[in-house]
Structure formats: C-alpha cells, structure tokens
Amino acid sequence: MKKALLTVFALCLGLFSFGNTFQEQIKVNILLTEQSDPVALSRAASWLPTRQERRTYVVDALKRQAEASQQELMGLLRELEQHGLVSEIQPLWIVNSIRCYATQEVILSLKGRSDIQTIYPCKELHGLFDDETTLVACDNRREIAENLLKVNVDKVWELGYTGQGVLIAIIDTGVSLTHSDLQGRFWDGGAEYPNHGYDFYSHDNDPSDTHGHGTHVAGTLVGTGASGTQTGVAPNAELMVLKVFHGEDNLTEPTLWVEAMQFALEHGADVLNMSLGQPLPDADVKLMSRQACDNTLAAGVVAAVCAGNTRQIQMLAPVPYNIWSPGDCPPPQLHEDQMVNAGGTSCVICVGAVDNNDALGGFSSEGPSTWTDVSFYNDYPYVSNSSTSIGLIRPDVCAPGVNVKSLDYTNDSGYCLKSGTSMATPLVAGTIALMLSKDPELTPAQIDEILERTSIPLSEHKSNDFGSGRIDALAAVNAVDYDDIEETSLEVNVFPNPTYDHLTIVGEEMRQVSVFSMDGKLAKIVENPGNTLRIDGLDNGVYMLKIDTQKGLITKKIVIL
C-alpha cells in the first residue's frame, strides 16, 4: 500500500513542479467504486424490532464500509494536503465519497485508480428560484392558515396528533432562530450544536436565515401561531436546522445537501424536508443524489422533496428533465400505474403544487423523469407517447403551494406570502409528522402508500402533473391504522408464518394481493386470485402483504426464513 501511495504522490509532485509555482485548487467530489447495497442493508435491518434500531444498524454499516474502503485514498490525500496540493478534505459515508479541493494535476493522477468510480467538479448553483414575497400586515388575529384548512390539518389536531415526538430536519437556507412562532420548537443539539443545527456552507454552528426561504418553509412545518396565525402543520414537532446555502445569493452545491442528509440520519431525524434541487442535473449529481436517497430509505427515513418550479421554461428544461434532482429520485413504494415500467425505490416523496382551488400551479415542474442517463441505475426508460416506456411518474402527490402564508424572516412576529413547490413540500412533510405521531413505527413505504392512497384524485390516473392527487391530512392520519382491522372481520388467514419456502393465503373474495419488501419495492402482485393463493419463490427476509378483499384492505408482515 505504501508503494502505491508513494507512486501516485511522486507523480503528483512531478506534475506540480512541471508547472509554475502556484496551481489553483478546485472543489471536487470523489465517488468510490465500492458502494453499498441498500436493498441488502434494508433486508438485514428488517429483522430488528424498532425503526430506531434499524436506522442505527444501517448507519453503522455505512460508516464501517466507508472507513474501510476510503482508508488508502484518505492516506494519500492527507499526504498531498501537507504539500499544498489538496485541502478541505471531507469524507462522507451516506454515499461512499470524499469531497475536497485539489489541483488539476492531482485530479488527473487519481482518475486511473481502481477504487475510484468517478471524480467530478462540485459546481455551485442557485438551488432555489426566488419566489415573489408579499409581506402580510400582522393584526394579531387568531386564525389558521388557509393551506392547512384546505387539507384538514385542524381536524387532525382535534384527534390529538400534532407532531409530538417527531424530529423534522429542514435542509434549506437556514431558519430565523428568533421568530416568536418558532420558539420552543427547535432541536436540542446540546453543547456541540447550540443553535439547533449546522451551517454546511460556512462550516459553523450558525444556521440563521439570511434569505427568507427556509424560515417560510419552517413556519409551514412547525409554526405555533404565537404571533396570530397558525401556520405549522405539526406545531409540536421539533425542528433540526441544516443550512446548505450561502447568504442572500442562495448559492449552494449538491454535496452539501448530501452531507446534511447524513447529519440528519446520524442525529435522529424522522423526516427530511428538502425544498430545493438542481434543475437539469448532470449524471454525476443524479448518481450521488440517488445513492444518498437509496441509503436514506434503507435507514427507514423518508424525505419530502419539491418537484421544482420550471414548468414554464421547458425550452430550457424539457421533459423528462423538468423535475429537479433529488425530486427526480423514485418513491419508497411504486404505485400500480408505475408497474408497467417499474424500477428501483428511494426515500423521496416528490411534491407538486396546486392552489387552494386544486388548480395546478403554473410553475410546478412536470414529470416524468428518467434514469437511463445514469448507467449505474439505467431504469425508468422514457419514450414520448409510449404506453410502456413511461419514465418515472413525478410528482407523487401535490399540496397547496400558491400564495402560502407563513413566517417572515425579517420580522420576529411577521408573516409573508410565497408561492412554489417549496411551499407545498412542508405541508407534506408536516403531514408525515402527524402520521408518525400516531404510529412512530411507520416505514417510508407505508407512509408513501397511505399518502398516495388517501389523496384527493385530480386526474384519472397517477399523473405527471398532480401525482396521485392533493393530500388530505385527516384521511392520511385516519388510514395509519388501516392494518389494525381485525383479521376475522375480513376472513383472511396467512400460514405458515414464518415460513421456509412458501405461504398460503386464504381470504374471502380477494381482489389483489401485493407483496412488498421492507424497502418498499414491489416483489410480487397477483390480480383476482380468488379465495386461495400460494406464494413461493421469495428471497429470505421480511415482507409486507397488502391484501385487497371485497370487504376491505388488510396488511400482514411475513417472514421468509
């Protein structure tokens, strides 16, 4: 190993000395060849009894893999750092990669290594399109914001579910830490993170908002109404503030989002809100985004992600590249309308925007997406007007995102109006928090399936405009216990369970039986099986059965030994 290190090191020094006395370093991401198998990780973790134990198992496994596989390369980079050729080395484990600054010659010398899959420059971008902001005069009226009433959030509160016990990580421009409507709602990061999060752009402990976007999003997540208007879907949830943008110019870079996702997983976040994205992402960014989202799913964490606001500029961002990344990553479970062109899954619930009359927001980005441009995945092919190569249907659901009233970062008791899929996304993340406050053990696949199944349809099928429809928070929370229906009332029996090779399902007038792995991927579907069905040929692991009968729906967990 030492010989290999010295060989590359000597080459780098030789290239360095060949030029002038100074060479500029550029920021790059080094993606290693060895990557995790999220499906295998999820299957192994599924034997553990709680969501927290499953998350810990996956996080520890990802850390061990990254540490072992990065050891030699990290040693080389540290040596080069001492000679001024490399700086700001940041290893990541949620995706097995290393971000750093390096000279062009160092980058060229590393590209031939067998342990490196790709090296690409980390390009800064505007991960938000500035939404028009309208300040709202505060008259201290006690009211509930219209977008919350539209999706019946107030009726969920009456049931006693307000997001209690749920930690939401907001990955955004930061949050105003002094707004009265957010007091008491911040994550306690202890002495290490005294300001309730971290600024990944500036590498410091101050995630305060100097742009306004993040504060508005935070208000829709957890705003308490202390200044007059109840804006928060989940006012008793806690908020972890992860800033990934620079100041007022809203510059960001995708590896910062990934690093923030990693922080959220490591520190116990239950839901991620990502009202951001990259329009027209290149294959390298898509690859890293999806691997991060795959591993987040394996850890049992779900992310609400905006679809983007580029519908009206399809001359620049045509379908199937109109959805922003990571919103273009697949959902935790596949809708039946997707099964004609099925592919992999990830943690992303992609969110489009409608107005308060359920009309599509004119800016809301249009699906589908495709992943045939990323050879590592090569799924969800898209051919225009094809009935089979339909791409990946995006978004999954939609929510009110036009003229949304929430918090103003310039006034500690102020409100403002903003529009965008960014504003619709926290309504979905907050609804997920309400669901988790009812059942903390819900998996991302269950959350996605419930949200889509209970949404108000706005198109005949799941569409690239509305997804499965506009969310209904009350219907979603009421559906959380759909699998608690007494089995005897549905006359369904599953045996043997656990089993070694096959199981038999006996049920009255079964219309459809679906088998999902614990990472949410559909393993088998049988239409109109009658009253008896035998299933075999499944790999070892834990699965969820969804059995649709004439009398209702039931889910069962099965174990294949």
Helical packing angle, 38-45 and 283-298, nearest 10°:
10
Q: Do domains 132-480 and 483-560 have the same CATH topology?
A: no
Q: Please state the φ and ψ torsions of residue 554, each to the nearest 5 degrees.
A: -140, 145
Residue boundaries of the structural domains of the chain: 2-122, 132-480, 483-560
SS3 383: coil
Q: How much is the pTM?
A: 0.86
Q: Which CATH superfamily is domain 483-560 in?
A: Immunoglobulins (2.60.40.10)
Task: Beginning with the edge strand found earlier in the chain, give each strand of the sheet holding 404-407 in spatial order.
Answer: 134-136, 415-418, 404-407
CATH topology of domain 132-480: Rossmann fold (3.40.50)
Burial of 385 (0-12, 13-18, 19+ CB in 10 A): exposed
- For residue 165, give both structure tokens: 């016990």
Pair 405, 229: CB distance under 8 Å: yes
Q: Are 54 and 48 in contact (CB under 8 A)?
A: yes
> What string of pLDDT tens digits covers the 561 residues of the chain?
333 333 333 333 333 333 443 579 999 999 999 999 998 998 889 889 899 999 999 999 999 999 999 999 999 999 999 999 999 999 999 999 999 999 999 999 999 899 999 999 999 988 776 566 677 765 557 899 999 999 999 999 999 999 999 999 999 999 999 999 999 999 999 999 999 999 999 999 999 999 999 999 999 999 999 999 999 999 999 999 999 999 777 899 999 999 999 999 999 999 999 999 999 999 999 999 999 999 999 999 999 999 999 999 999 999 999 999 999 999 999 998 998 998 999 999 999 999 999 999 999 999 999 999 999 999 999 999 999 999 999 999 999 999 999 999 999 999 999 999 999 999 999 999 999 999 999 999 999 999 999 999 999 999 999 999 999 999 999 999 854 433 334 567 888 877 777 788 888 778 888 888 766 677 888 888 887 888 888 887 778 788 888 777 777 778 776
Q: Which of 356, 337, 359, 344 is nearest to 298 (CA)?
A: 344
Beta strands per DSSP E along 122-180: 125-126, 134-136, 143-144, 167-172
